[in-house]
Structure 1
Amino acid sequence: MLTRRYALNRISIAIAAVLLLACVIPAAPEACTTIMVGRKASADGSVTTSHTCDSRIDRTWFELVPSRRYRDGTMCGVYSGLRFMKFPGDTAGVRLTVEIPQASRTNGYINTSYPCMNDRQLAVGESTFGGREELRNRSAGFGCEELCRIALERAATCREAIRLIGELTAEFGYSDGGECLTFADPQEAWELEIIGCGRDRVGSVWAARRIPDDHVGVNANAARILEIDLDDTDNFMASENVFDVAIEMGYWDPGSGEPFRFAYAYNPDGRASMAARRREWRVFDLLAPSLELDPNDKDYPFSVKPDTLVTIAQIMDIFRDTYEGTEYDMTKFMYVETEPGKFEKSPYANPFMDYDM
């Protein structure tokens, strides 16, 4: 068994791979942005994912959970409501949803509102896309944050985590709306998009796509995976029912001649959301301005090659970005008349207004 000290030291060494920052890119309440960087796109050869948890209602405390070993036959509780605990041990609003067999050994991990990284250097970010409400089974076993926890406790790579999530939700069900989980390990970055398969059904529908090693990716509260090639196992994974549910529910007609596109089948409103698309554009435009992407476009590339190698400091700067210098700067109209006919930017003008502003 890893000692507590050793497990926590391992986590502290790897923590630079994930950034948990307060996102200030304008968006709706409960808006999260995640940025991914492949190892050949980063200045130091690391793989990065990130997550801004902008809900205003999620818990802000965190703890370092050490690796543990368990006896055969031990069960593991899965809960809802953990995101809203006001302090460690707060059980108000926490509910046991299901019990699953415990692993013989679990990894140490950083337990944040959405658990974010383990001592095997597997990290995960999150961004909600909602999707089709008629597919949500609120009484199913697993919500998003508990999928993050179990994946970090039991997996060492992105691929292992994605396969495990697929297996767990197939057996015990998925209770949340559509979610994007962005995984990073020392070699790869992947984006997983998952949603329920029906109000009274146990299971999930999901697709995952790898970020090329020399690319960067982004998710900003909208599904982004379009066409999927399941013959290309190096770059794609999906649930067995990914096409069947779309056909059954009338989201896609294979006889129409139109290709299957995951985002349009399961989150059509996401591609219409300017709040999501504008953030996608801004991240790509800051990292790859040579592409001259249209800020009003609807479907950006899934990932892009940055003009220069990306540093952690650049990612932090992007999360602080407020569209300054663009026509979308939220303070550009905040002027006051200081004397007749003369206007100056208000000293109170700032892009960090409360949501009711």
Structure 2
Amino acid sequence: MKKFRMFLAAAALVAYATADACTNFIITRGASTDGSVMVSYAADSHALYGALYHNAGGKHLKGSILPVYEWDTGRYLTDIPQVEESYTTVGNMNEHSLIIGETTYGGREELADPTGLIDYGSLIYITLQRAKTAREAIATIVELANTYGYASSGESFSIADPDEAWIMELIGKGCKLDAEGKNIRKGIVWVARRIPDGYVSAHANQARITQFPFDDPENCLYAPDVVSFAREMGYFEGDDADFSFADAYCPADFGTVRGCDARVWAFFRTVADGMEAYEDYAMGYNLKNRMPLWVKPRTKVSPKVVFDCMRDHYEGTPMDMTKDLGAGGHNCPYRWRPMTFEVDGVEYLNERATATQQTGFWFVAQARPNVPADMGILWFGVDDAATSCLTPIFCSTQEVPECFREGNGSMLEYSPTSAFWLFNRVTNFAYMRYDMISADIRKVTDAWENGQLARMAEIDARAAGYDSQSARRRYLTRISVDKAQELFDRWSKLDKYLLIKYMDGNVKSEHGDVLAYLDSDAPMARHFVENGNGRQIPDKIQFPGYNEKWKRAVAADNGEILKVQK
């Protein structure tokens, strides 16, 4: 997702330096441990407020209209006819367990259509209100974009239901006005490919579909002019069989691969064998060594593995953000923007990993087997995935938890009951001494997420006992709301604990660890070691200092001034 549109097809490092970005991982049912289809998504933007969107479905009067507002900016675009019946949506999932995620790849700048009236965000959320299956969603997206004109740049969509998962890539056709001032190029060129069952795929702000079959409608759908339009624009010459959507409409370069496709590689290498063969591609050094669109995982992938893949900082690779001097004295895997810098006329980059500081919200959605479709789960969280936590929101929920509710705070208004502000406060504190504080946070995250996953069988059994859909949905709503509030309360307690433990660069000694404190009802003062005089004065305070690389760098930089004289 992008705020303030930028085109990645501009000069490589310029585009790489300015674009906000998102990440999607896709797991087919045959590749998952529980038979669910999963899609992950991080909505990354420096201006997006993390909230959980909800739209109640229902019947609509004939002649009703639906206003369309650009998702990124809030700009009014147009009114379109409302459908007779719409479906309830929560976040990027609807009551039928249809899931849609996205990443923006931008593509060729001249293909933007200033007359378009449907942006990519509206395509997602309107389609979720109108489609039940992935194939219906693809058809709805095409119909909306071709009818009203496409108002955004190139997009990759993840589209999944309980049975199958697809990647759909699209881009506008620019603007060419006729004598009456109408755009005769209105609409999109696009291609959609079904991910084979048993495989996983991903996209992260770089077009991923290259060659595709033209005679396999069960597994590949495309615009009738997807090749001919590329020929018309001079993007492609040759036989149809050699046509590559990505190469025609979003050619890769160093910046888009290193800043974008590298995140796909990081996911693939975590779950599949043989990915070291593509390391030179991921680093932007060998663009001809392109990764496959999907890979078969070495073992089936669990929801928790997907959760944790969204927390990746390239650990264990040459791009590991915790290893160089930019990580500071406490191994912080973040680099503040801009994404490039210059020294003595040489330009350098800051890595862009999957987990990033500017995430508004993120999720891992599960379309699950052997349960009613309205029991799909949107595992939802706000802020940086590496230091935040997911909680289960059932796709048919009739209520949004207060801590995730739209209007409860904004990017310009702090709210003490907002999860977005609470998680940001904890995370920004963690950035200062990441090696120690993030380890405490991760213990809490793992305990919570594993606990919620373990409870799903019990919840499913209880839900199956209700004799009506409405009763089941009321129960699932209560679970969704109560668990979100429980997580909020737990994080509020964690917030205070971390401040007391790590204040002023010190580390207070404690009885047990963070989980021992959070799971106890005892006052916080009893958790920390005091000096024995009964006055709540801490004892055995630790002064951990900085890591070895930092100390050596400071000594090299200013050692003559700082050297202790014997």
TM-score of Structure 1 vs Structure 2, range by shorter chain: 0.7 to 0.9
Q: Which has the higher helix share?
A: 2
Structure 1 segment 298-317 matched on structure 2, within 5 A? 298=287, 299-317=290-308
Matched, 1:195 2:195: no
Q: Distance in 2 between matches of 1:315 and 1:47?
A: 12
Q: Per-residue CA shift, 1:65-109, capped at 9, x if unaligned?
A: 2112101122222222x335xxxxxxxx431x2222211110000
Structure 1 segment 198-237 matched on structure 2, within 5 A? 198-200=174-176, 201-237=185-221
Q: Distance in 1 between matches of 2:249 and 2:207?
A: 8
Of the candidates 35, 46, 52, which is equivalent to residue 36 of structure 2? 46
Structure 1 segment 280-295 matched on structure 2, within 5 A? 280-295=264-279
What is the identity, as a one-letter code, of the residue corresponding to 1:78?
V
| TM superposition shift of 1:181 | 0.8
Q: Per-residue CA shift, 1:224-253, capped at 9, x if unaligned?
A: 101121210111111121112101000011
Q: Distance in 2 between matches of 1:293 and 1:162?
A: 33
Residue in 1 aligned with 2:247? 264
Residue in 2 aligned with 1:89? none
Residue in 2 aligned with 1:296? 280
Matched, 1:348 2:330: yes
3-state SS of 1:190 partner: strand
3-state SS of 2:270 partner: helix
Matched, 1:154 2:136: no
- Aligned CA-pair RMSD: 2.1
| TM superposition shift of 1:28 | 6.5
Q: Give the gaps of 5 or more residues in structure 1.
A: 1-25, 85-92, 336-344
Q: Distance in 1 between matches of 2:222 and 2:112?
A: 18
Matched, 1:64 2:46: no
Contact persistence 1:222–1:270 (CA under 8 A): no
Residue in 2 aligned with 1:104? 84
3-state SS of 1:48 partner: strand
Residue in 1 aligned with 2:149? 173
Q: Give the gaps of 5 or more residues in structure 2.
A: 1-15, 177-184, 282-286, 339-349, 351-566
Of the candidates 87, 93, 109, which is equivalent to residue 117 of structure 1? 93
Contact persistence 1:131–1:270 (CA under 8 A): no
Structure 1 segment 11-30 matched on structure 2, within 5 A? 29-30=19-20
Q: Distance in 2 between matches of 1:307 and 1:28?
A: 36
Contact persistence 2:27–2:200 (CA under 8 A): yes
Matched, 1:137 2:113: yes
3-state SS of 1:329 partner: coil
Q: Per-residue CA shift, 1:99-138, capped at 9, x if unaligned?
A: 2221111000014xxxx11011001111000000101102
Q: Distance in 2 between matches of 1:270 and 1:185?
A: 33
| TM superposition shift of 1:155 | 0.3
Higher Cα Rg: structure 1 or 2? 2
Residue in 2 aligned with 1:83? 72
Contact persistence 2:211–2:241 (CA under 8 A): no
Describe the shift of the 1:118–1:270 C-alpha distance in structure 2 as closer, same or farther (beyond 3 A).
farther
| TM superposition shift of 1:354 | 1.8
What is the identity, as a one-letter code, of the residue corresponding to 1:128?
T
Matched, 1:318 2:299: no
| TM superposition shift of 1:315 | 0.9
- Which one scores higher on RCO, CA 8 angstroms, separation ≥ 6? 1
What is the identity, as a one-letter code, of the residue corresponding to 1:310?
V
Q: Distance in 1 between matches of 2:60 and 2:152?
A: 29
What is the identity, as a one-letter code, of the residue corresponding to 1:263?
A
